[in-house]
């Protein structure tokens, strides 16, 4: 291992920061896996939607972990977290995130939500005002209604547990998420990883969210909010 051979302290520290340190939060007897990287004073909690893989954030984790304490989560039913029980509502996923935050026990907590995960961390921050210090949205629409019309019938089928058109759905969904020509590799990786998830994850992901439109909640959240890649969000 390079870490064992090198004597350069800066290089050792840089390599150590990139190591995945797996831990578990326990909620209602279930294990929620999360991964720590780096050792900065400020924690960046990178949250992906339940149907995305944590690898979606991996390209930025290795850079951010040199200055921050970076945390990613395996949502329940994925990765090293416990299997998904039936009818696992979106509120349950949000409480899982809260359990991870409480387990970390860090003072400065910045939650970064990709896509619909931005709505999850918004609802958490609204319900528990002192839980998170700052919010960052990465391509987060204020409500699912901002999805293109061609996806609506697919969401309805998935919610009913009908996966007969999943191939068509995931191709359309990936094209919507990664519309820029240079992001084709990300779209291909997203499609590949989608088939690795249990179909129950997609069924849960398609279910209506509580307080789906987060605009009314934002006026009551008195912490800094940064919106990235927000062309249609109009938050």
- What is the reported pLDDT for 197? 87
Q: What is the pLDDT of residues 102-141, one digit of tens each?
A: 999 877 899 999 888 999 999 999 999 999 999 999 878 8
Q: Are residues 19 and 39 in contact, defined by beta-carbon separation less than 8 angstroms?
A: no
pLDDT at 216 over 70: yes
CATH superfamily of 9-227: Alpha/Beta hydrolase fold, catalytic domain (3.40.50.1820)
Each domain of the chain, given as residue ranges in start order, spans 9-227
Q: Are residues 88 and 77 in contact, defined by beta-carbon separation less than 8 angstroms?
A: yes
Q: What is the mean pLDDT of residues 183-189?
A: 80
Q: Cβ neighbours of residue 65 under 8 Å, at least 6 residues apart?
A: 17, 18, 37, 38, 40
Kindly report the pTM of this predicted structure: 0.81
Q: Are residues 163 and 199 in contact, defined by beta-carbon separation less than 8 angstroms?
A: yes
Q: Are residues 45 and 111 in contact, defined by beta-carbon separation less than 8 angstroms?
A: yes
């Amino acid at each position: 291992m390079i870490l064992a051979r090198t004597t350069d302290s800066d290089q050792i520290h840089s390599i150590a920061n990139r190591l995945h340190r797996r831990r578990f939060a326990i909620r209602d007897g279930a294990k929620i896996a999360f991964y720590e990287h780096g050792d900065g004073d400020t924690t960046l909690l990178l949250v992906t939607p339940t149907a995305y893989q944590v690898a979606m954030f991996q390209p930025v984790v290795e850079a951010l972990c040199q200055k921050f304490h970076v945390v990613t989560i395996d949502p329940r039913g994925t990765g090293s977290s416990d299997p998904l029980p039936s009818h696992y509502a979106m509120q349950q996923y949000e409480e899982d995130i809260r359990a991870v935050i409480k387990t970390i026990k860090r003072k400065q907590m910045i939650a970064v939500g990709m896509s619909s995960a931005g709505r999850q961390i918004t609802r958490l921050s609204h319900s528990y005002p002192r839980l998170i210090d700052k919010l960052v949205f990465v391509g987060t629409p204020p409500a699912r209604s901002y999805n293109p019309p061609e996806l609506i019938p697919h969401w309805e089928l998935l919610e009913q547990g009908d996966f007969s058109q999943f191939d068509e759905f995931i191709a359309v969904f990936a094209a919507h998420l990664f519309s820029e020509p240079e992001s084709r590799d990300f779209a291909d990786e997203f499609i590949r990883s989608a088939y690795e998830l249990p179909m129950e994850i997609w069924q849960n992901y398609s279910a209506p969210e509580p307080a789906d439109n987060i605009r009314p909640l934002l006026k009551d959240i008195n912490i800094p909010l940064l919106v990235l890649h927000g062309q249609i969000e109009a938050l």
